[in-house]
Structure 1
């Protein structure tokens, strides 16, 4: 790592206090304003900036035009910015207001910050520091800023998560602008960065609609993202195969500028795949064209890493891959991996299991063993054993990793349940019940602001297994009583039944917490409670 020598004795700074330049270069920062010591001594390509709201005084007036495009439509007042998830909502009080006319960029900065705190949980695959910094540079710096569609949908998420009341910056206003800009960008021939921004905007918009239970529109935007991903060849990144003559993609003439941008493209492919798999759970059916079926055996893109891993060169320059999904199903030894990779692998395992009937005739192996329930059960079990313990990450110390690991465990459990269905095994077996309990345990009640909407479908899958088991136990008791003529002597619930009912109630309580922030989870909870009332 590059280190800058200095004779100054710098005391440790509070995490996140360093300027963006020093954070990116991983050098010590004295956090002085308006420009820190290292940035004064060694001129940077970009001026010294900070990620907190006080650096607004440094922002130039000549920012990218699209940042303030349409701001004249939004007169009124707004609340001050926030730097933590807890303060995002509390800071939006009527007692501390700023004049929008004198601080037009403060709203945008606040909304970006409120979103980026939670960005990894909602499919944000770009480098957050680069994204944030590029949003506030002047045109003279020749840095490609966010597309209008991406900026609009990030602001939409910022309003949604902060729950701030900002006249003119309401969710309906920003949703309308996001739809309009994204629809224009999809059909436009633009800069390669804009294409990636459009994919990111589609993922975020689809996830927002998913969270608000607008499933059909969410599916539409997810499918648009999948179409762009394939058109850009993001499923063939670092491929060991020779490209076919005439098989061109939108990014053929635009190789990534550096390892981080290549990582963004890799992460973008898997973000779209994860989103489509999550929507498949919500619909409880297989609809449209999944990016994992283009076809799966032809996906050569390596598994995703964290952004910092690409910056540190953990993806070797000479790496070439082939048959990424095939390798996962056939012979992956499941080594220790970044949590984002484990989440991607778990969702792909679930997707493959749920599509086994459709791919039953594919020759994935000489003996067709990948369509065997025994083989798949073994592979799922091996992967599950390789996962870190569920609560190895603290919810407060490393929240994104904790959320991603919980999803990895939950998707693996969902794959086990689905495999029982595909293999015509009893859905109420001990294995399925244990997997259902694991899903309910994966996400304990807590801060509901950053819960991915896919949890609604995962919770429903788990609760339906437990409801089925309770019905089976009660039916057995009633049949036994009728056969033996014992009347009510065996009507008392067994210990197993009481335990499952307790698990269900705890699951409903957890869902109720998250239903307050996610309409799709609330809708699922309502349906489950109706079923529970009939048993």
Structure 2
């Protein structure tokens, strides 16, 4: 009696695609013989991960062994075998960020009180995303002109500024150069920025009698202005401004009266620059010190977006026990909220890109309300959403 020869070997265990259909479809084309039952059992024990089967098998809900470049089913039927590119862990995390952005937008719209002034939502579809079109985190993103920013409407064009001489060597560049670099920094770093443009420029005027900007903060803004200008004649000075900013930051810490909020703002800008340049370990080191100061100043525990005048009877006690004096109004409060979230955001972007874990303390102890655009703190109806309510 002639020996029966299987038309197809079944000694190799079959693997099911996660999108497969019924058992009858799964066993299609399986060869006869005693190994069929064993293959069926093995197939149910081993499954490809979601999206690992080839496109043809997934469309037809057929068994796919996941072999590349051609699976057994496509090879047998002599058809083109196509696999979708596998998404990396970073890409999957970026997808999650996009989903959370949309969820945040929904919650902000629902939570906005009736009668409040409506402004463009920082994370709406018309606003740059945390994730750029290329799939990488967008550390700074341009925002279209807004009527809330009259100070930025007179932004100088590069061609209108006199760049002659070694202007970068001066402690204080000419006013047009200052305006170009600072405005470029302010515009490109929106919407996740924490300066009120009008107040900042007022503090630069000669008639201003309040706390003036730290040299380290100004140079950090010059640094990012050069970096985001897309002008080769400016980007070549980045290393000079980075070194000078670091030196000024270190020197200012020896002054007990240093304005800590400005110091943290400058440090955050330096970290932003380092992240943009892909210098992840340097960025992590910069952020570590900033995070300690941010938490020491209690910026992770701001539970309301509405400023309240401090009680005169306890103001002296609070000032003596805190590294920061209470904010003077709602805009100053908003700048602190925005600074905290910029540091939080930079820390998580750094963790995402480097593979190192984010700060455990920031992760577990954050109670600060979700930020709005800095100009919105001049208005009413600010939301008090927190991170826990969003996630």
Matched, 1:275 2:342: no
Matched, 1:156 2:156: no
Matching of residues 21-170 of structure 1 within 5 Å: 23=150, 52=154, 81-82=156-157, 88=158, 91=159, 98=164, 104-120=174-190, 123-135=192-204, 137-138=205-206, 140-164=207-231, 170=237
CA distance in 1, matches of 2:229, 2:183: 10
Unpaired runs of at least 5, structure 1: 1-14, 24-48, 54-80, 83-87, 333-344, 350-535
1:28-67: per-residue Cα shift (whole Å, max 9, x none)? Answer: xxxxxxxxxxxxxxxxxxxxx88636xxxxxxxxxxxxxx
Range with greater deviation from structure 2 (204-213 or 126-135): 126-135
Alignment correspondent of 1:236: 301
CA distance in 1, matches of 2:285, 2:226: 23
CA distance in 2, matches of 1:177, 1:280: 27
Matching of residues 16-415 of structure 1 within 5 Å: 23=150, 52=154, 81-82=156-157, 88=158, 91=159, 98=164, 104-120=174-190, 123-135=192-204, 137-138=205-206, 140-164=207-231, 170-191=237-258, 194-238=259-303, 248-251=321-324, 254-286=325-357, 289-293=359-363, 295-296=364-365, 299-315=366-382, 324-325=386-387, 328=388, 332=389, 345=390, 349=391
Matching of residues 432-451 of structure 1 within 5 Å: none
CA distance in 2, matches of 1:126, 1:97: 26
CA distance in 2, matches of 1:265, 1:292: 15
Equivalent pairs, count = 233
1:362-394: per-residue Cα shift (whole Å, max 9, x none)? Answer: xxxxxxxxxxxxxxxxxxxxxxxxxxxxxxxxx
Asked if structure 1 preserves the Cα contact closer than 8 Å seen for 2:226 and 2:235, the reply is no
Deviation at 1:168, TM superposition (A): 11
Alignment correspondent of 2:42: none
More helix, by proportion = 1
1:467-521: per-residue Cα shift (whole Å, max 9, x none)? Answer: xxxxxxxxxxxxxxxxxxxxxxxxxxxxxxxxxxxxxxxxxxxxxxxxxxxxxxx
Distance 1:119 1:247, change over 3 A: same
Distance 1:290 1:185, change over 3 A: farther
Deviation at 1:152, TM superposition (A): 0.3
Distance 1:16 1:120, change over 3 A: closer
| TM-score, normalization by structure 2 | 0.51
CA distance in 2, matches of 1:168, 1:308: 30
CA distance in 2, matches of 1:165, 1:181: 25
Alignment correspondent of 1:466: none
Asked if structure 2 preserves the Cα contact closer than 8 Å seen for 1:152 and 1:177, the reply is yes
Asked if structure 2 preserves the Cα contact closer than 8 Å seen for 1:207 and 1:218, the reply is yes
Asked if structure 2 preserves the Cα contact closer than 8 Å seen for 1:223 and 1:290, the reply is no
Q: Give 1 or 2 for the bigger CA radius of gyration.
A: 2
1:283-306: per-residue Cα shift (whole Å, max 9, x none)? Answer: 22316x34423x33xx33221111
C-alpha RMSD over aligned residues: 3.9
Distance 1:208 1:231, change over 3 A: same
Asked if structure 1 preserves the Cα contact closer than 8 Å seen for 2:319 and 2:326, the reply is no
2:368 partner SS: coil
Asked if structure 2 preserves the Cα contact closer than 8 Å seen for 1:234 and 1:266, the reply is yes
Distance 1:276 1:142, change over 3 A: same
Bigger RCO (CA 8 Å, 6+ sep): 2
CA distance in 2, matches of 1:158, 1:168: 9
